[in-house]
Amino acid sequence: MITSRQGGQGGLILGIFMIYGIGIDLVDIKRMGKVIDRWGTRFMNRVFTAKEINFCFQGSKLESSFALRFAAKEAFSKAVGLGMRKGIRWQDIEIVHNKRGRPDLNLTGKALSFCHAEGIISWYVSLSDDGDYGIAVVVLEKRATY
């Protein structure tokens, strides 16, 4: 079976795919608010890109926006099976949105290098919040090898 996928970096990919990894993370939104209150820009600049920070401040749900991005970064680290090791920095994993508002990953640095080395060619991100919690799921795919 030949399928096509929109690759994580925007290119159309043909082939047979397999799941490389799945990551999920749940974040307490109020706790994220306390972290932001305590550490402020020091925390934000260490974990988030300028683009992510600007996005979060544009909306009405500041704590939730930061919590969801943090959860997605954690979910990605779980999907690759490394946690935040191998030199991958928080800012190497940027959460962006397409024109329709769908979340996506913009990987740079060691996160992107790791994906290339492992043959990871596409990914999916889902974010949701309800009440006090935010959740993110990341699914990574690679071309199947037989």
Q: Which domain holds residue 33?
A: 3-143
Q: What angle do CA 105, 106, 108 make, to 5 degrees?
A: 130
Burial bucket for residue 84 (CB in 10 Å: 0-12, 13-18, 19+): middle
Predicted confidence (pLDDT) per residue in 18-69, tens digit? 999 999 999 999 999 999 999 999 999 999 999 999 999 998 899 999 999 9
- 98, 104 in Cβ contact below 8 A? yes
Total domain count, the chain: 1
The pair of structure tokens assigned to 130 is: 């309800």
Return the CATH number at 85: 3.90.470.20
> For residue 3, what pLDDT is reported?
41
The residue ranking higher by pLDDT, 91 or 145, is: 91
Cα 74 off chain centre by: 7
In 3-state terms, what secondary structure has residue 27? strand
- Going by pLDDT thresholds of 50, 70 and 90, the confidence category of residue 13 is low
